[in-house]
Structure 1
Amino acid sequence: MITVHHLNNSRSQRVLWLLEEMGLPYEVVRYERDARTMLAPPELRAIHPLGKSPVLDDGPIRVAETGAVIEYLMDAHPGSPLKPAAGTEAARRYTYWLHYAEGSAMTPLLLKLIFGQLPNRAPGLMKPLVRGVSKKAQDSFIDPQIAAHTAYWEAELAKAPWFAGDAFSAADIMMSFPLEAAGSRAPYGDKPHITRFLKTIHARPAYQRALERGGPYAYA
């Protein structure tokens, strides 16, 4: 039996969704973030030294990192329509977006989160200075980077309904988190193709079942 160590409001929601799309039975072990720090609980460090989620157990096999989990599941269950045929343009795009999601897309979003929290964590007398530094970093670098990435997503989704091409794939599951996270900070009112993509994935029955299994999810 597959077990997913799942942290609320995290990337691990994608693994639950993938398993639902694949129709594989699994169990969920849920962990809740600290309400003040938003960090994972210490119990998760007993599963992974960094206390990160997702972690997937498949019998004696343990796999961490969302991209690695997705690749493991695709290899363990070959022939899935969620992975394009090898050697095709769709397969090349699939591989690109699978790795881009965490390699490039999440970097400015994480910087936005970190710099946005800095003033709250600064000592009282330092707050005005830290707030100014935080705002400058976001206005001059982070926000333009996020805008460039979202424009890129919009342009790519204008060419085809899914990131790998005409067919839904695990790359779309992987890309869902950066799109949802970015949209939670700045609505996509001027980006109809991203809006269509998010509306379509949120309506998928497997996505809805994953939400039921994973619990409240702020980005849906």
Structure 2
Amino acid sequence: MLIIHHLRISQSERIVWLCEELGLDYNLKLYNRDPETRLAPAELKALHPMEIAPLIQDGDTLLGESGAIMDYIVGKYAPDTDLVPGPDHPDFAEHLYWYHFANATLMTNGMMSIAVNAVGAEMPPPLMKRVTNAWAAIERRLGEADYFGGAQLTTADIMLGFSLTTARAFNDMSIDHMPNLKAYLKRIGARDAYQRAIAAAEPGFPPKLD
């Protein structure tokens, strides 16, 4: 059976959500953060050279990186899923863009902000512009379509979900000025698969949906 190694309050919640959307059986192993470093505990670090989550085990296969894991699971277990529009689908290009935007842009911006704050500095204006551009693009896209990948939920939404919800629990960012995003998060929060995923991955931690 597929094993998901999930570090609490981390982007590995994506993999749990994906499996719930696909209706796949999996074994979920939860890890709490080290109380001093706030990073992965020793038993999770020992599994992979990068010492981070997400990780999955599938037989003899041990795989990290959110995007790689999602492509692997879809390709092996659900190649015909509607969560990934094919090249002939009108939403194909938008899905691809936002699927990669999740880590290439939004998560990168978040990590830059964390690094800058960790040394007691402020974001340089060019980097801050990247951050504001990204959130503006999110609000604009959700005024054009119900989901990032188009008319229906895709793996682009699952990739972006952590940054739009759980990650915001650790900063003071308000989205009151983003009505499209607020409406979108209500749609996400109403999904049975999302509710099951968060209940399993983050027991006792309510999702940040507003």
Determine if the TM-score, normalized by the shorter chain, exceeds 0.5: yes
1:191 aligned residue:
178
The amino acid across from 1:23 in the alignment is: G
Amino acid at match of 1:101: A
Contact 2:198 2:207 in 1 (8 A): no
Instruction: Give the SS at the match of 1:3.
Output: strand
Distance 1:14 1:26, change over 3 A: same
- Identity percentage over the alignment? 33
The aligned residue for residue 148 of structure 2 is: 163
More helix by share: 1
Residue 185 of structure 1 aligns to a residue in which SS? coil
1:9–1:218 Cα contact (<8 Å) kept: no
Secondary structure at the counterpart of residue 88 of structure 1: coil
Alpha-carbon offset, residue 200 of structure 1: 1.5
Unmatched runs of 5 consecutive residues or more in structure 2: none
Query: Counterparts of 1:154 and 1:111 in 2: how far apart (Å)?
Result: 21
Q: Indicate the residue corresponding to 1:32 in structure 2.
A: 32
The aligned length equals 204
Q: CA 1:185 to 1:68, structure 2 compared with 1: closer, same or farther past 3 Å?
A: farther
Amino acid at match of 1:190: H
| Deviating 4+ runs (over 6 angstroms) | none
What is the rounded CA distance, in whole Å, between the counterparts of 1:57 and 1:144 in structure 2? 39
Q: Indicate the residue corresponding to 1:67 in structure 2.
A: 67
Alignment of 1:53 with 2:53, yes or no, is: yes
Secondary structure in structure 2 of the residue aligned to 1:146: helix
Cα separation, 1, equivalents of 2:61 and 2:93: 27
Separation (CA, whole Å) in 2 of partners of 1:104 and 1:68: 17
From the CA coordinates, give the structure whose radius of gyration is larger: 1
Deviations 1:173-200 (A, max 9, x none): 1111222235753111111111111121
Deviation of residue 141 (structure 1)? 4.1
Report the 3-state secondary structure (helix = DSSP H, G, I; strand = E; otherwise coil) of the residue aligned with 1:83: coil
State how 1:16-165 maps to structure 2 within 5 Å. 16-76=16-76, 77-118=78-119, 131=120, 134-135=121-122, 138=123, 140-165=125-150
Give the superposition deviation at 1:89: 3.2
Equivalent residue for 2:158, pick from 168, 173, 182: 173
| Aligned partner of residue 4 in structure 1, secondary structure | strand
CA RMSD of aligned residues (A): 1.8
